[in-house]
A and B are shown apart, each in its own frame.
Chain A
Amino acid sequence: MILQDIEIVRRLVHADERKRIIITPLSDPAKQIGCSSVDVRLGVAFRVPVTSHMGSIDPYREESVAERYLTTIEVPAGEAFFLHPREFVLASTLEYVRVPYDLACRLEGRSSWGRLGLLVHATAGFIDPGFSGNLTFELYNAGRLPIEIRPGYRMAQLCFMKLVDEPRIPYDLRPGSKYNRQLGAEASRIWRDKQAG
Chain B
Amino acid sequence: MSRNLLVFLLSSSAENLVRLEDILERRRLAAASREYTAILTAMVDLCANYRHHYLAHRPTIHRLLEGAQLPRVEELALKTLLRNCINTFLTLHELLLFLPRESLRKEMQFFAQSLFGPKYSIRDLSIILTSLYNAFEYSLDVAIRRLDVFMTKVPDAKRLTFGHVMELAIVDRDNPLSWGVLAHEFGHYLDEKHSISSALAAQFVTTKIRPPSGAASGLHKLFRDLASEIFADLTAYYLLGPVSVLPVVNMELDLGLATDKPMPFDRAHPLTITRVTMVEALAAGDNMRLEFFSPYLEALREDDAAKCAQLGPAEKTERDDIDRYVNYFIDEVKADLLARLGGLGLRRFGSVNLQAAVELKPRLEAGVPIGARRKASEKEVRRKLKTLAGGRKVAESRGVFDLLREDPASVAEVVTAGWVAKCEKKSRVLVEAFSQKMEADVFPYLSKVIQQQDMLLMKSIEIISVISGEEHDSAGH
Do the beta carbons of A43 and B402 come within 8 Å of each other?
no
Do residues B406 and A24 form an inter-chain contact, with CB atoms below 8 A? yes
Are B372 and A29 in contact, CB atoms less than 8 angstroms apart? no
* Any B CB within 8 A of the CB of A175: no
Q: Is B404 an interface residue (CB 8 A)?
A: yes
A141 in the interface (beta carbon within 8 A) = no
- Cβ contact within 8 Å between B402 and A181: no
Instruction: Identify the stretch in B211-219, B255-263, B465-473 within 8 Å (CB) of chain A at 4 or more residues.
Output: B465-473
The verdict on A9 contacting B400 (CB below 8 Å), with A24-B406, A27-B470, A29-B405 known, is yes
Residue of A nearest to B452 (CB): A181
- Say how far A23's CB is from chain B's closest CB, in angstroms: 9
Q: Is the CB of B455 within 8 A of A12?
A: no
- Which 8 A-B residue pairings sit nearest by Cβ, starting from the closest? A25-B372, A77-B469, A67-B29, A76-B109, A29-B404, A74-B106, A13-B378, A183-B455
Give the residue name and chain of the B residue nearest to A43 (CB): B462
Partner of B368, one of A9, A24, A71, A78: A24
Please state if B369 and A96 are interface contacts (CB–CB under 8 Å).
Answer: yes
A184 at the B interface (CB under 8 A)? yes
A37 within 8 A of B: no
CB distance from B467 to the nearest CB of A (A): 5
Q: How far is the CA of A151 from the CA of B467 in the complex (A)?
A: 10
Check if B286 is an interface residue, CB within 8 A of chain A: no
Give chain A interface residues in 43-76, CB to chain B under 8 Å.
Answer: 43-45, 53, 62-63, 66-68, 71, 74, 76
14 CB contacts below 8 A, A to B, read A6-B385, A9-B401, A12-B404, A13-B404, A26-B406, A27-B408, A29-B404, A43-B462, A43-B466, A74-B105, A77-B109, A151-B469, A152-B469, A183-B455
Min CB–CB distance B94 → chain A (angstroms): 26
Q: Which residues of A contact B455 (CB under 8 A)?
A: 183-184
Task: For A152, give its contact among B110, B404, B466 (CB under 8 Å).
Answer: B466
Tell me the bound Cα distance from A44 to B371 in angstroms.
Answer: 14
Contact (A78, B367) CB under 8 Å given A26-B404, A27-B406: no
Mark each residue of chain A from 150 to 172: 1 if its CB lies under 8 Å from any CB of chain B, else 0: 01100000000000000000000
Q: Does B47 contact A (CB under 8 A)?
A: no
Quick one: closest B residue to A15, CB to CB?
B382
Q: How far is the CA of A184 from the CA of B459 in the complex (A)?
A: 8
Report A's interface with B, CB cutoff 8 A: 5-6, 9-10, 12-13, 15, 22, 24-30, 33, 41, 43-45, 53, 62-63, 66-68, 71, 74, 76-78, 94, 96, 98, 132, 134, 151-152, 181, 183-184
User: Total contacts A to B, CB within 8 angstroms?
Assistant: 119
Interface string of B437-476 (1 = CB under 8 A from A): 0000000000000001001101100110111111001000
CB proximity of B378 to chain A, nearest CB, Å? 4
Most buried by A among B32, B452, B466: B466
B319 CB to nearest A CB, Å? 45
Give the residue name and chain of the A residue nearest to B454 (CB). A183
Question: Which of chain B's residues have a CB closer than 8 A to the CB of A74?
Answer: 105-106
A28 to B386, CA, bound (A): 22
Is the beta-carbon distance between B466 and A13 smaller than 8 angstroms? no
Question: Chain A residues with Cβ under 8 A from B473's Cβ?
Answer: 78
Residue of A nearest to B459 (CB): A183
Which A residues are in CB contact (< 8 Å) with B462?
43-45, 94
Q: Are A77 and B29 in contact (CB under 8 A)?
A: no
With A9-B400, A53-B32, A152-B470 known as contacts, the answer to whether A25 contacts B463 (CB < 8 A) is: yes
Do the beta carbons of B29 and A44 come within 8 Å of each other?
no
Say yes or no: B372 contacts A24, CB within 8 Å: yes
Q: B466 near A94 (CB under 8 angstroms)?
A: yes
- Tell me the complex Cα distance, A35–B404, Å: 16
Inter-chain CA distance A28–B401, complex, in Å, is: 9
Contacts of A96 in B (CB 8 A): 368-369, 459
User: Do A41 and B466 touch across chains, with their CB atoms under 8 A apart?
Assistant: yes
In the complex, are the beta carbons of B372 and A181 less than 8 A apart?
no
Cα–Cα, bound, A33→B397 (Å):
11
Q: Does B193 contact A (CB under 8 A)?
A: no
Q: For B467, give the chain A residue with the smallest CB separation.
A: A27
Name which of B113, B402, B403, B467 has the most chain A CB atoms within 10 A of its CB.
Answer: B467
CB-nearest residue of chain A relative to B377?
A13
Residue contact B459 to A77, C-beta cutoff 8 Å: no
Which residues from chain B contact A6 at a C-beta distance below 8 Å?
385, 388, 397
Residue in A30, A41, A68 whose beta carbon sits within 8 Å of that of B29 in the complex: A68
* A26 pairs with B397, CB closer than 8 A: no
**Which residues of B79-113 are within 8 A (CB) of A?**
105-106, 109-110, 113
Chain B proximity of A102: nearest CB distance (Å): 19
- In whole angstroms, how far apart are the Cα atoms of A181 and B29 in the complex? 23
- A30–B403 Cα gap in the complex (Å)? 9
Determine if A25 and B371 form an interchain contact, defined as CB atoms under 8 angstroms apart.
yes
- Enumerate chain A residues within 8 angstroms of B452, measured Cβ to Cβ: 181
The answer to whether A10 and B385 have CB atoms under 8 Å apart is yes
Tell me if B26 is interfacial: C-beta within 8 Å of chain A: yes
List CB contacts (< 8 Å) of B366-392 with chain A.
367-369, 371-372, 374, 378, 381-382, 385, 388
